[in-house]
Homo-oligomer: A and B are copies of this chain.
């Protein structure tokens, strides 16, 4: 009765490795899902691939699994950053969930001149990302960073990293992905109030910055993030 239960754990994984569960995982597995000793689930830690694991002990405070067999090897996410200005909390959580499902490797909340929200709840966002990986069948968890000032990031921008700059002021036109190189990329989604002129100039001054239209309407930031990652993945990413 191996079902699709997948859990993220922090431990190293390897044949015979014992993995203890935290209280929340034990509650989910034994109380909610009613799993019993000798049942099997899938576990991953973001480094050692995906493992089939057998439940050893369900006694309180000693809930343990043991790794049985590696099912899938670790696989790096494509080198895609998502930069976005945090918005209302539920939409920020939503962006993290969606960017994780779609396979961004690093999620960077940025503070722009016209961003109102100056802080995020990083630990909570990490929980959202992990739950999304468990759900979508991924084996790597994206990194989520603390909020950073956009102008600072741009000042230190790696010269080889391309930027898909989703700019609502851009005239809608079909992007020509065939002219764009593979390699390290980032997607930048603007804040609801748009970018300042100074920001726009700084973005466009980057060596590999591509202004990009997401159509004739003004998309919400969460819609724009999902749309942009999907387009990038389809054209330049891992969908092949």
Contact = CB atoms under 8 A, between A and B. Distances in A.
A239 B226 contact: no
Interface residues of A, number: 36
B172 A240 contact: yes
B137 A217 contact: yes
A238 interface: yes
B102 A173 contact: no
A135 B220 contact: yes
B230 A226 contact: yes
Given A101-B219, A102-B223, A234-B231, A239 B136 contact: no
Contact of A136 (B175, B218, B237): B218
Interface string A74-103: 000000000000000000001001100111
Interface string A204-240: 0000000001111111100100111111011101111
A34 interface: no
Contacts of A233: 215
A59 to B, nearest CB: 33
A219 B185 CA distance: 22
Contact of A239 (B97, B103, B216, B234): B216
A138 interface: yes
A117 to B, nearest CB: 18
B172 A220 contact: no
Contacts of A234: 174-175, 231
